[in-house]
Amino acid sequence: MTETLPVTAGVLDERRLLDAYRTMRTIRMFEERVHEEFATGEIPGFVHLYAGEEASATGVCAHLDERDAISSTHRGHGHCIAKGVDVKAMMAEIYGRATGSCHGKGGSMHIADLSKGMLGANGIVGGGPPLICGAALAAKLQNTGGVGVAFFGDGASNQGTTLEAMNLASVWNVPVVFVAENNGYAEATASSWSVAADSIADRAPAFGMPGVTVDGFDFFAVYEAAGEAVERARAGGGPTLIEVEFTRYFGHFEGDQQTYRTDEVARARAERDCLRSFRARVMDSGLLSAERLDEVDREVALLIDRAVAEAKEAPKPTAADLETDVYISY
């Protein structure tokens, strides 16, 4: 790990550094807690955790505001939190409660909050990139100055929808940032096998856009690359493809036996963890103190405790809610 901060990190004042840290810590604690709660049998369905990948959502969304929209994946909790979706409503959604972001109708794979520009976690691999082209087109036609960010996995990078969206975004010159989250695997399929190019970013020139690969454990590296890309998109300079590389800490979904990998998680956690390296770097450079960071940890722990407690207490939807929200009018 290098101890120097990228130039742009200098413009991050104490408040923004703390925000970034809080977001990453919130994602981590949220996911670790969901992991524990899932094991008790209280959380059903398919749950895909984002732990290990926090720097991507956080480093990208740090550049976004209320004008901007993101599309997400089946592994969407981190994207939601980084875009400002209420953690308690998310937890309630995962518990299938009426107080959840989607009133218990979506679940972990389909959390959305349009009021935050979060266009939905997405159960369909490759479902998001075309949607975000549309969001970016809307921003362009309505002159809002907004950009769209599509988060998608290495597996999704092979899906026709993703490739079509990249081409379309360039052809129409719409303000999109494509963020390929390469965690090495799609379920058990290694990206080193499934992606025919040397890297996902290498595909960018074929779609007429710049492409860059960054260390996805390094918040500052992601922040810097995303800053450039978002700025270019906002200024009308067109789309960018950013590939972030890292390791997911948990199985593909909760319950995955992970027979396809060995010690890489333990090594990544010990040597490259985004939260650990973030702490080391802001402390070494004297930007934030351990006390201040620890305080954030305590606050976040409290928030997650409350989110779980409230979700467990919250009312479940009833059969009377079954046919609501199917149409606007019918």
Partner 1 sequence: MSVITYRQALRETLRAEMHRDEDVFLIGEEIGIFEGSYKITEGLLKEFGERRVRDTPIAEEGFVGTAIGAAMLGLRPVVELMTINFSLLAIDQIVNHAAKIYGMFGGQTSVPMVIRTPGGGGQQLGATHSQNIELFYSFVPGLKVLAPSTPGDAASMLRAAIRDDDPVLFLENLGLYNSKGEVPDDGDQVAEIGRAAVTREGSDITLIGYSRMAVVAQQVAEKLAEDDISVEVVDLRSLRPLDRETIVESVRKTGSAVIAEDDWLTYGIGAEIAATIQEGAFDFLDAPVRRVAMAEVPLPYAKPLETAALPSVDSVITAVKETLNAVGRRVG
Closer residue to Mg ion (CB): 156 or 300: 156
Closer residue to ligand TPP (CB): 125 or 300: 125
Angstrom distance (rounded) from CA 85 to CA 120: 11
Residue 154 interacting with Mg ion (CB under 5 A): yes
Residue 195 interacting with ligand TPP (CB under 6 A): no
Residue 158 interacting with partner 1 (CB under 8 A): yes
Residue 200 interacting with partner 1 (CB under 8 A): no
Angstrom distance (rounded) from CA 108 to CA 96: 9
Contact residue for ligand TPP among 100, 146, 155, 251 (CB under 6 A):
155
Residue 260 interacting with partner 1 (CB under 8 A): yes
Among the candidate windows 96-104, 149-157, 202-210, 276-284, which touches Mg ion by CB under 5 A? Answer: 149-157
Angstrom distance (rounded) from CA 212 to CA 208: 13
Choose from ligand TPP, Mg ion, partner 1, none: what does 58 bind? Cβ within 5-8 Å by kind: none
Angstrom distance (rounded) from CA 237 to CA 136: 13
CB 130 within 8 A of CB 169: no
Residue 124 interacting with ligand TPP (CB under 6 A): yes
Of residues 23 through 82, those in contact with ligand TPP by CB under 6 A are 48, 73-75
Angstrom distance (rounded) from CA 249 to CA 318: 36
Among the candidate windows 46-54, 181-189, 278-286, 322-330, which touches Mg ion by CB under 5 A? Answer: 181-189
Which of these, 155, 162, 141, lies nearest to 207 by C-alpha position?
162
Residue least distant from Mg ion (Cβ) = 153
Choose from partner 1, Mg ion, ligand TPP, none: what does 286 bind? Cβ within 5-8 Å by kind: none
Neighbours of 159 (CB within 10 A): 18
Residue 161 interacting with partner 1 (CB under 8 A): yes
Q: What is the DSSP string of 127-186?
A: -HHHHHHHHHHHHHHTT----EEEEEETTGGGSHHHHHHHHHHHHTT--EEEEEEE-SEE
Residue 76 interacting with Mg ion (CB under 5 A): no
Angstrom distance (rounded) from CA 19 to CA 17: 5
Q: Where does this chain bind ligand TPP (CB under 6 A)?
A: 48, 73-75, 123-126, 153-156, 183, 185-187, 252
